[in-house]
Structure 1
């Protein structure tokens, strides 16, 4: 079994996010980047169905981190992953199903669905990474919590709760002001020479894993209501080889992409809309 060291479990639960340093080698990141670019415009499904990048899901590293954080073994992959070759638009938001109602099911217990981000370029001294708000995984609003940048080096793994308020296009300042981590709306007040540049084209691999519980069931119900999800899942066909690799690592699979086949009335919501409870 794969064992990942350096997982700060306490930080994850206290702040809503953490960085695991050096999970991947520079050579692995360069290989991921090459494969992502080679399939750009050719593959629109999830990572497990990706012809050359499914190892990100099946090699056991994400699974081991999830087990350490959640302190349980029933970790499920359900098709919520992507190769993202794009510049993200700023705007703090959450990824979970219940984003605005503190009485909704997502807020009744510790949240067990985790987002992983592997950034295929440096965001430790370069801009373009993720803005996160400390402690926002325990707050329904997206306006509270100190703004931090997920300052990943090449090879690091970013990990955050789907309840954590986050935003793309994080900007950091050049040394010696790089301890200041501005809200995206405040970036324009700084002179351009003070803004750290980006480290080339932004490419990231995102994947979700979580416990096999009521939070997972609700999240998948929500995902099936979103219009953008359906074309991704229709393009996500898991081969027998991919399934065998995932299961051999100890990962449980729930084939949500297959669950939408032939089902009418899904994908009605283009923008976020809460689901009933």
Structure 2
């Protein structure tokens, strides 16, 4: 297992999120931007199947971060990733399977499924990044926890627990109030000149990795009920070369795009619906 400098494992488990600073070079981020923009209208699948961006998954850095956080080697990629070229919509939510039921399996043990995000622009001094609630990965509701921003600089990797309450479209204030990180509903209280601008077009690369356990199995079962995810998987196909690259770094790949071929009744839910337990 490789070791990545600057991974604050304690912060991740205490707060539900952390930032790995400077994991990627500015040149790599600029290259990711160019490749992302060049793929618009050409590829609608996941990152591992992306002809220009599969290395985001197979270069090993995300994997090593996930292994350090989880303290285990059985980390799996299961096709939950995307190139997001769009402005985010405010609204706190959770990404895990059992979002609202504290008695459900997701809440019976520490949650081992991780979301990782590379924002291809600055959100340390610019608005438009991720709102997160501290400690909300241990709260079933989305209203508790101090609101913070995932203040990533170019080259940083944001990492958050799928149970953490988060929202897009975070707002940063200019100096001298840049330490204030408001809830998106409170932004209207501040004069417009005090709001930090965005750093150009919002592009992000999101991926999920997790331990090979009951949380992963349940989450994949849930994803198979979601229309958007089935559409992504239907556009995804992993080459032998890419799978060999993943194997070489010790990444387990669950080939969900292959699993769904010929299976009827999947992807019936456009909006969230819980699955039974």
TM-score of the aligned structures, taking structure 1 as reference length: 0.99
Taking the aligned partners of 2:116 and 2:245, their CA distance within structure 1 comes to 19
Q: Which residue pairs with 1:185 in the alignment?
A: 185
Q: Which residue pairs with 1:163 in the alignment?
A: 163
**Structure 2 residue 250 is matched with structure 1 residue 250:** yes
Q: How many residues align?
A: 277
Q: Which residue pairs with 1:39 in the alignment?
A: 39
**Structure 2 residue 131 is matched with structure 1 residue 119:** no
Deviation at 1:142, TM superposition (A): 0.2
Deviation at 1:2, TM superposition (A): 4.6
Please give the secondary structure, in 2, of the residue aligned with 1:29: helix
Q: Which residue pairs with 1:223 in the alignment?
A: 223
Taking the aligned partners of 2:184 and 2:233, their CA distance within structure 1 comes to 31
Q: Which residue pairs with 1:143 in the alignment?
A: 143
Taking the aligned partners of 1:9 and 1:256, their CA distance within structure 2 comes to 29
Deviation at 1:3, TM superposition (A): 3.3
Q: Give me the CA root mean square deviation.
A: 0.7
Taking the aligned partners of 2:3 and 2:60, their CA distance within structure 1 comes to 8
Runs of 4+ in structure 1 over 6 Å off? none
Preserved CA contact (<8 Å) 1:3 1:61: no
Please give the secondary structure, in 2, of the residue aligned with 1:72: coil
Q: Deviations over 1:213-270 (max 9, x none)?
A: 0000000000000111111100010011110111111100101111111111111111
Deviation at 1:86, TM superposition (A): 0.2
Taking the aligned partners of 1:180 and 1:118, their CA distance within structure 2 comes to 23
Q: Which residue pairs with 1:65 in the alignment?
A: 65
**Structure 2 residue 238 is matched with structure 1 residue 209:** no
